[in-house]
Amino acid sequence: LMVFMLLFIPLDFLMWLLFPNQNGKCFQHFFLVVALYKPDNPIIYLLHYQHPVVQNGMNCLETAFNKGVYDTYTQALLAYTYGLAGKEKRKQFFFEKLNKTATRVGGSVHWERENKPPAEHFPAFYSRAPSAEIEMTSYVLMALLNKNKLTPEELSYTSRIVHWLVKQQNPYGGFSSSQDTVVALQALAQYGYLTFSKKSVNTVKVNFMQLPSKVFQVNEKNRFIQQQASLTAVPGNYSVEVSGTGCVYLQTTLRYNIHLPKKVAGFSLSVQSANVSCTSNFPLKFDLVISTSYTGNRNVSNMAIIDVKMLSGFVPLQQYDSIVNQVDIKNDHIIFYLQKVSLGRRFVEQSLPVSDIKAASVHIYDYYETDEYAVAEYKSPCSQPSK
């Protein structure tokens, strides 16, 4: 919506909006330059590639280049930006650096941050990558795909990146955050566009011991339709056979209940009740006091998310602290987005009498570094056990 609104704004104001004069400092953000260089951007009809507004943005990138760019995230973004700008030598310069620092595991390729916090791994499950690594890997992929046709070597290399990227996708089609989801889906869509073939016909068979196979046919007519089946024998060993030509995206999802982890990393968290009102003639009410602090290896955390699961029969009251930037209510969860972490107080009341109310969880985690988290439980101070 903002893009189309800009089409009706005077050009002088548009220039100020896109590249404000920050007290003589060079504009250091790459994202607007990337947006302006996208071929489908309607602003390009107003601003030619050689317009001073666009050139000023590129000059900022050159300034950063001359000073030296050493972190992987910025290298990935610069490789993509220079590719959009048609500066192949600059793009190749950064790609050679990125190729040396790439992580290669099991036939896949991706990029990781320097000095990343230690992650907790579970041998039986695949641990998804943090948001920043998904985002930077997606930018590298889009930089490599920024051409009309790929050589066999380039196709092989990019397919190894895609192999890693799709393993980070959650069962609902997204990734770790809204920011990396936008970039990753764009990269996967671009890969799908360049590798698409109308003649693709594939058969996928899912086998389990002696039971009849579940068979999926993927062809030109149904390639946009999601096909799924329930695999009810758990635990069990399943095998998959794929035949045909083209590309098929296959994902398995396991849902299960787990005990809250006792370990924490990056945050301390405690939850208590206060101002309890258990009067039988009125809805039960109490304040939910959430105390948390950042204990990670950085000075401050990134944006923090507090996910509060409501007790059975309880609903949140619409009263929030000023440090809360945004609040989302999804089913029986209330999600708080905080720019900083500090003491907070939440208000809940009972909307439906429920006996023997079970404890509910509160989960805090870093929006971009999901390996930094803490979990706590709370109970209703007014709950009565069932007889």
Residue 184 to residue 138: CA distance in whole angstroms? 5
Q: Does residue 46 share a domain with residue 187?
A: yes
Q: Which of 256, 278, 300 is the last residue of a domain?
A: 256
Question: Residue 28's pLDDT is what?
Answer: 47
> In 3D, which of 178, 229, 216, 145 has the Cα closest to residue 367?
178
Residue 384 reports pLDDT greater than 90: no
Q: Does residue 191 share a domain with residue 276?
A: no
Q: Does residue 145 share a domain with residue 95?
A: yes
Indicate whether 18 belongs to any domain: yes
Q: Does residue 66 share a domain with residue 137?
A: yes
Question: Residue 291's pLDDT is what?
Answer: 81
| Helices 72-84 and 131-144, axial angle in degrees (round to 10) | 30
Q: Does residue 122 share a domain with residue 51?
A: yes
Report the DSSP pairing between strands 239-245 and 324-330: unpaired
DSSP-based three-state secondary structure for 297: coil
Q: Which CATH number characterizes residue 101's domain?
A: 1.50.10.20
The whole-angstrom distance between residue 134's C-alpha and the CA centroid of its chain comes to 7
Question: Containing domain of residue 277, as a range?
Answer: 267-378
pLDDT digits (tens, 9 = 90+) for 190-225: 998 888 888 889 999 999 887 778 999 999 889 889
Looking at per-residue pLDDT, the higher value among 60 and 183 belongs to 183
Which distant-in-sequence residues (6+ apart) come within 8 Å of 178 by Cβ? none
Q: Which of 230, 256, 282 is the last residue of a domain?
A: 256
pLDDT digits (tens, 9 = 90+) for 110-169: 999 887 766 655 555 567 788 889 999 999 999 999 887 889 999 999 999 999 999 999
Q: Which CATH number characterizes residue 292's domain?
A: 2.60.40.690
Q: Does residue 250 share a domain with residue 160?
A: no
pLDDT digits (tens, 9 = 90+) for 34-61: 655 565 555 454 445 566 666 777 777 7
Indicate whether 271 belongs to any domain: yes
Q: Does residue 177 share a domain with residue 209?
A: no
Question: Residue 50's pLDDT is what?
Answer: 61
Q: Which of 195, 211, 229 is the last residue of a domain?
A: 195
| Top mean-pLDDT range of 4-18, 36-50, 82-96 | 82-96
Number of domains the chain contains: 3
Residue 77 reports pLDDT greater than 70: yes
Q: Does residue 323 share a domain with residue 296?
A: yes
Round the average pLDDT of the chain to a whole number and report it.
77
Report the DSSP pairing between strands 314-316 and 211-218: unpaired
Between the alpha carbon of residue 334 and those of residues 186, 255, 308, the distances in Å are 29, 21, 5
Question: Residue 339's pLDDT is what?
Answer: 77
Residue 184 reports pLDDT greater than 90: yes
Question: Residue 363's pLDDT is what?
Answer: 87
For the beta sheet containing 201-208, the strands, ordered from the edge strand earlier in sequence to the opposite edge, are: 211-218, 201-208, 239-245
Indicate whether 161 belongs to any domain: yes
Q: Among 54-58, 240-244, 357-361, name the one with the lowest average pLDDT.
A: 54-58
Question: Residue 5's pLDDT is what?
Answer: 38
Between the alpha carbon of residue 283 and those of residues 276, 352, 358, 369, the distances in Å are 11, 8, 18, 39
Question: Residue 343's pLDDT is what?
Answer: 40
Q: Does residue 205 share a domain with residue 189?
A: no
Q: Does residue 109 share a domain with residue 38?
A: yes
Indicate whether 58 belongs to any domain: yes
Q: Does residue 212 share a domain with residue 352?
A: no
Question: Residue 2's pLDDT is what?
Answer: 37
Q: Does residue 165 share a domain with residue 70?
A: yes
